[in-house]
Amino acid sequence: MMGLFDFIKGGADDFIKRNIEAVSSEQKSYDYAAFELQNDLAYDISALFSPASTKPNWTKASNFADRANKFYFQCSVSRACIEKRAQGIANIDLLVTGKASTKKLLQSPNPTDKTLSNALRVWETSLSIGGDLYLFYDLRNPFEPYIWALRQDLVSNNVKKQQYEYRPARLSGKDTPPQLIFQYDSLGNTIRCLELNGTSYRGVDGYLQRIAHHNPLSATEGAGAGDSALRSVDIWLIIEELIATKFGNGGAKGGLITAPTIRTQKDMADAQHFLSQLNDQKNINVLANGMEFVSTQLTFGELDVINVRAAQAASIQDAFKVPGVLLNSTTQTTYANMRAGDKIFYRTFIGPEAHWLVGQLEWGIRKYIDATATLKVDETQIDHIQDDQLQMAKDMASMGCFTANEVRAILGKPPVDDGNELMKPIASQNGQPEEKPKGPVGFNADSGDRGDANTNDK
């Protein structure tokens, strides 16, 4: 035991000695990647086609393909949640400052996605499913830079060599050397990019940024919303398979019989008598008066499974933080509160996620592209919270503590030349201005709160 302890302690001391000078005071959480058991399956091609299971480590990149198949192509509930999240992030507007080339790049990050809106949609989809996003800042052509999103199951973190390895050939089942290698320093910043050229590598101008939802158990794998939704998705899919199999075999030829009100023992005996003769020797095919046959495809036990399916759907929606009313959920649909649902969805997920993701993108742009660039979410264009903005502007204008330009900024309006002076507070008492109009009041006029100033009474 002491030998193992000394080995681990020696490795830790060596790691700290090699990296202590590079650790800055701004580093909020320590990187434990060098001490974690590495995911050998990340380099195993066969892992991409492993059968479905309900008990794998779903934070491993090697299971991304199977997980994406479940969440995006098999389960309609998780697919709707992922689409709703991605759509919300794609609809945000950005305020960008910096070089003209930076603005041009952010308008069209790459030829595949074409627009920033579509790129944001793709990025959020990847984060929702797997929790990780790898952005490749491709500067190989200095006159036409691009930002590509690399599939997370095709990127492996080789901690021993301190490099990320990108293997797109895995999709065709080939075991080839990495197409791109991104070597990084002790803080995770790309210091060199190598591209496979024939049988050797050449240095190119490019950088890799890993964006991930925090995983308290792993420094190398992010934790997406899909990780917590997996078990509910598995149960939902099992119930769907049960129903599909039953209907695929022609359904059930059964049902139930509703009987008339039974008040006495004679009523019960009569009902039992008619039921006992039903279809006896195929000579009674009509139910007695008051009885009705209701055809059902599912038994009472199977109908209870439908309730479990609805509960699992609600659990999936909770995991992805999407209100059921926005998905036409059969258990939560109430269109009277649709606008409130939109506002809740923005406040609880879209807003925080957008600010976080744009902040990460700003870091990468400033680090590798343009040190003068700034990126911010333009919340003045969000339909779901415009009522809140109008109320805030109204309150600010009535307080007398803000200028007209500060109030206009809340509404996303440009400043005006004479808008830098403090606005006068709007004082009121009982809903009426404090300075009341004076003068005579006509006969039968509604004097309201002006009666104390009516000179005709003097």
Given a cut of 60, is residue 29 above it in pLDDT?
no
Per-residue confidence (pLDDT) for residue 391, from 0 to 100: 74
pLDDT, position 204: 96
> What per-residue confidence (pLDDT) applies to 16?
41
Residue 130: is its pLDDT beyond 50?
yes
Residue 53 banded pLDDT, cuts 50, 70, 90: very low
Q: What pLDDT score was predicted for residue 247? A: 75
Mean pLDDT for all residues in the chain: 77
Counting residues of the chain whose pLDDT is more than 70, the rounded percentage is: 67
pLDDT at 438: 58
pLDDT of residue 39: 47
Summarize the confidence of residues 122-136 as an average pLDDT. 94
Distance of alpha carbon 85 from alpha carbon 349, whole angstroms: 8
Pairing label, strands 146-150, 432-433: unpaired
| Secondary structure string (H, E, C) spanning the chain | CHHHHHHHHHHHHHHHHHHHHHCCCCCCCCCCHHHCCCCHHHHCHHHHHCCCCCCCCCCCHHHHHHHHHHHHHHCHHHHHHHHHHHHHHHCCCEEEECCHHHHHHHHCCCCCCCCHHHHHHHHHHHHHHHCEEEEEEECCCCCCCEEEEECHHHEEEECCCCEEEECHHHHHCCCCCCCEEEEECCCCCEEEEEEEECCEEEEECEEEEEEECCCCCCCCCCCCHHHHHHHHHHHHHHHHHHHHHHHHCCCCCEEEEECCCCCCHHHHHHHHHHHHCCCHHHCCCCCCCCCEEEEECCCHHHHHHHHHHHHHHHHHHHHCCCCHHHHCCCCCCCHHHHHHHHHHHHHHHHHHHHHHHHHHHHHHHHHHCCCCCEEEECHHHCHHHHHHHHHHHHHHHHHCCCEHHHHHHHCCCCCCCCCCCECCCCCEECCEECCCCCCCCCCCCCCHHHHHHCHHHC
What is the predicted pLDDT for the residue at 396?
A: 82
Structure pTM? 0.68
Q: What is the pLDDT of residue 450?
A: 47
pLDDT band at 196 (very low <50, low <70, confident <90, very high): very high
**Residue 191 pLDDT:** 95
At 406 the pLDDT is 84
Would you state the pLDDT for residue 123? 96
For range 419-432, the mean pLDDT = 67
Per-residue confidence band for 330, with pLDDT thresholds at 50, 70 and 90: low
pLDDT of the residue at 313: 92
> Is the confidence at residue 373, as pLDDT, over 60?
yes
Determine the average pLDDT of the residues in 350-358: 94
pLDDT digits (tens, 9 = 90+) for 273-318: 777 766 655 555 566 666 676 666 666 667 778 888 989 999 999 9
